[in-house]
Chains A and B, each alone.
Chain A
């Protein structure tokens, strides 16, 4: 790849300053995995349709497999690895464990990040709202009923 297709980006990653050099065609997902060993985001459908690659950029959940890394220059990026604090899991993560909201676990970080965005915007979602909000995340193991339960329980926790 030619040199002029490369550039350095600086951004906040899970609360810390991050600097890396990227090629302009590289996606956020591949840069997070390759340069920062953050493996919670995963490539599956490659088309932004399954939600496995979800990351939060400036408070908005994006498909990391489509979102170019170049766009996060100066932004704040949160991945599932950034949710726990002080060695304690985030209440959404706890809720996914308590309600068995996963089987193989591959899609789980995407669901958790999407739930975080949901609860920030709609702290008291109805079942229908949950289903609509999370309809862009796919789970082939079909843990859907458990995921809905986990989100509801997390909403209860969120509002306390």
Chain B
């Protein structure tokens, strides 16, 4: 029988229950991350395991004439060499991808980018596998290649895929099925108002084209996947993936197996940033494992990351009609996304970022055309922001151009044009739970915008700039969670959200703890394992706190309802008279019972489970194909702003960022400290993309594929003053009012720095990154003394 704790004496004062949400709880896994014991798939080896090393295409486009594994197989210790033909014997149609089924597990018949996997050497010793991969001899017949996204979209460009192969699961891509003779995988449109008339009525029209180069995610944990047989007809895939549920369904589809024969599990990720989404090494490792019936591990080197997935390069043409009073009345946007050789999630980047490419502005007349384009470069996919920073670079650089032309203060110019609560977005959806004024207020305050500003002197010139940006959180997507109360009353959360450093384990535990009235630190979060944890679309797009947070909240509420029902019986009172707090269930009269004692009362011993289930899928209305209009395009809007204060060395072109302020609307934050750190982390990443990170290509070959030649921000690079600032505009459907914020810090950094550059030296650079060379060339051109090669 349950022990019923008698009411405490009346004189004893009840401590107010501690709130678990809106509290800067330390990350639950803290100790494991400082003592080296945190689990990463990177650490996993299995008995009898073979190491796989990939042989890659040496040319950007060409037919495969022959693959000769002879020399590789002759090397002592080589177990097997696997080619595309071997894979085709196992999987007749071995093409994968989240939007298009266009990417072969290993190249078949032709290669489409330099660095594409062509064959795999397997050996017990990784050094032997590496040597063998180098000995695989491949002969090609080169084909004409195309690298620029605008050129590739034109008629007459070399065709990269003979026929488009959209995934049949998406009804909105059906019309593309079987289309041939084009490199444009998808075009998305938004149309609103009467654009031609509005341009006629505009006092000024501004038209410019902005470009972004390619950069990479470079998570420090390499991409790594380990496969093993699970009995004669099952497969277990251990993988550093942000999307275990997707991996399971895609591998099952490729194999023609039911999902229940494929188990996918992850651990902590040593960073992801969108790179470890969908299928990366998983299909290859699954195929190798099934072919050799032994555990197989493939881990990429840092160099290989550059041949695996990148951020999209993009060209954005913007034409904007403005009235004398500074109101934008018309905007035409055309975006070409350099998707590389395989679509990955590029078509979705094209749609989702395309639809917000007119900015956080209230504009009556809009036309947006957004094109996903195949080129002969490594595939581009999701990178923290999903295309947003590319379009914000364009529209916020242009906002600065317009404000200056009209002699309006940049903050004031934005205030005259921003979307406000209730006003329709470009897609027609009325804006809800937003406050862009608050973001501008915070920027003005932190940048001390109205104070006199030191403009520098001689060769060091100072400037400052701001930018704001908007993103629609990805939709439609589903999250399912379980909250499990064990026999001793302790609690576990089963969720397929992947903690890759963003702190999701802690946030989910806080949400469940708040509902159950227990401490966050007492909860164990079970890491994604598709045999154990329920479905989640993926850890991407700042969706987890909102979607999985709501699923966990519902699962905890379900568990709590069951506990209260049990407690009502035990305490002989009504459920309405009970609440979960301070780790017990308490009646208003003061009687209390612990979770454990309830379990004992129910199961006659310390045994059993109470399982709460929660699922969450927010409302969504598919946009109209021709106009992009929808009453519900997104569950919540993400809004951010950035301000930069910089020094420019006019002799070297080097930009030194003195101060970088990043403001993000976090809704009502679950864990304020973690939110601020996400803003700072994202801001620093985008800072690197803005001032020095750039993949350099020569005829499709990446020539700087290592940290020796491709620099990411280190201690000495980061701005002297760096801050992440929350604006709190609670979301009515968010868990405890929260919104997602993992990407927000990326949105605005580039144009804030670009606008500060103009402010300092009156030079407008339209192509990222703002390297010293590019700045110096622009400065010298502006001074009419161009550098030799210009």
Contact = CB atoms under 8 A, between A and B. Distances in A.
Interface of A: 1, 23, 25-26, 33-34, 38-47, 49-50, 52, 79-81, 83-84, 89, 93, 96-97, 100, 102-109, 112, 130-132, 134-148
A50 B220 contact: yes
Given A46-B302, A103-B677, A89 B36 contact: no
Nearest to B219: A140
B475 to A, nearest CB: 27
Contacts of A93: 34-35
A46 to B, nearest CB: 5
A47 B708 contact: yes
Given A46-B301, A145-B680, A52 B220 contact: yes
Contacts of B715: 130-132, 134-135, 137, 144, 147-148
B interface, by DSSP: helix, strand, loop or mixed?
A: loop
B31 A97 contact: yes
Which 7 residue pairs are nearest across A and B when measured between Cβ atoms? A40-B36, A104-B501, A106-B270, A105-B33, A142-B684, A103-B501, A93-B34
Contact of B42 (A38, A42, A148): A42
16 contacts: A33-B43, A45-B220, A45-B707, A49-B707, A80-B34, A97-B30, A97-B34, A103-B501, A104-B501, A106-B42, A106-B271, A136-B714, A137-B715, A138-B712, A143-B681, A144-B713
Interface in B299-314: 301-303
Nearest to A133: B715
Contacts of A84: 35
Contacts of A81: 35-37
B503 interface: yes
A115 B683 CA distance: 25
Contact of A25 (B30, B127, B683): B127
Contacts of B718: 142, 144-145
A135 to B, nearest CB: 5
Interface of B: 26-27, 29-38, 40, 42-43, 45, 77, 125, 127-128, 217-222, 268-271, 273, 301-303, 500-503, 673, 677, 680-681, 683-685, 706-708, 712-716, 718, 722
Contacts of A135: 714-716
A41 to B, nearest CB: 8
Contacts of B684: 142, 144
Given A104-B268, A142-B680, 14 more contacts: A42-B270, A43-B42, A44-B220, A47-B302, A49-B708, A79-B36, A104-B269, A104-B500, A106-B221, A107-B220, A136-B714, A142-B681, A142-B684, A145-B680
A142 B34 contact: no
Contacts of B500: 104
Select the residue from A83, A105, A138, A147 with max chain B CB neighbours within 10 A. A105
Select the residue from A23, A34, A46 with max chain B CB neighbours within 10 A. A46
Contact of B221 (A44, A97, A102, A143): A44
B507 to A, nearest CB: 13
A39 B681 contact: no
A42 B38 CA distance: 12
A41 B43 CA distance: 10
Contact of A104 (B77, B125, B128, B270): B270
A112 to B, nearest CB: 6
A44 B302 contact: yes
Contacts of B37: 39-40, 81
Given A84-B35, A145-B680, A104 B30 contact: no
B35 A106 contact: no
Nearest to B125: A1
A105 B501 contact: yes
Contacts of A147: 715
B127 to A, nearest CB: 7
B705 to A, nearest CB: 11
Contacts of B29: 105
Contacts of A33: 43
A113 to B, nearest CB: 10
A77 B134 CA distance: 34
A39 B44 CA distance: 10
Nearest to B27: A100
Contact of A140 (B273, B303, B503, B708): B273
Nearest to A109: B36
A145 B722 contact: yes
B498 to A, nearest CB: 11
Contacts of A138: 220, 707, 712, 714
B48 to A, nearest CB: 14
